[in-house]
Amino acid sequence: MKYTDLEPGQGQNYDQVVFRYAEVLLSMAEAINELRGSAGAEPFLNEVRRRAGAPDVSGLNQSQMRDFLLDERGRELYAEGARREDLIRHGKLIDFAQQRGVTTAQPHHILFPIPEDVIIQGAGIIEQNPGY
């Protein structure tokens, strides 16, 4: 019922939250894999794969499932803005960037630089992230 009574005014619009069910299932699979191992994660992963017409996955150990889920999120959530956070969470952002040929990728690039005006307004309280 969150968005049922909203109507944009003249020259205005409103944003709606978009969170796909496939992302919920893949997040559940990832959490269960970390807590209980891959067998509990398989039903959630396979529900997403069946919808996409891909074969079921089974028999992976926890580490293999972790890597497979990262790859599956990359396929399922392609161009939806989740990849960078996924790679950071798995500790693979810099490695993947370097594999793609980004020779300037460094470990400090995991964090963005803090804008200079924020540092100035902080009057010495806010420090720039290391490497910038």
User: At 87, is the pLDDT very low, low, confident or very high (cuts 50, 70, 90)?
Assistant: very high
Q: In the numeric block, which tokens belong to residue 124?
A: 């010495």
Q: What are 19-70's pLDDT values in tens digits?
A: 899 999 999 999 999 999 999 999 999 999 999 999 999 999 999 999 999 9
User: At 10, is the pLDDT very low, low, confident or very high (cuts 50, 70, 90)?
Assistant: low
- CB atoms < 10 A from the CB of 70, how many? 18
Domain 21-91 has CATH 1.25.40.900: yes
Distance CA 35, CA 43 (A): 15
* pLDDT exceeds cutoff 70 at 14: no
Domain ranges of the chain: 21-91
**Using an 8 Å Cβ cutoff, are 62 and 33 in contact?**
yes
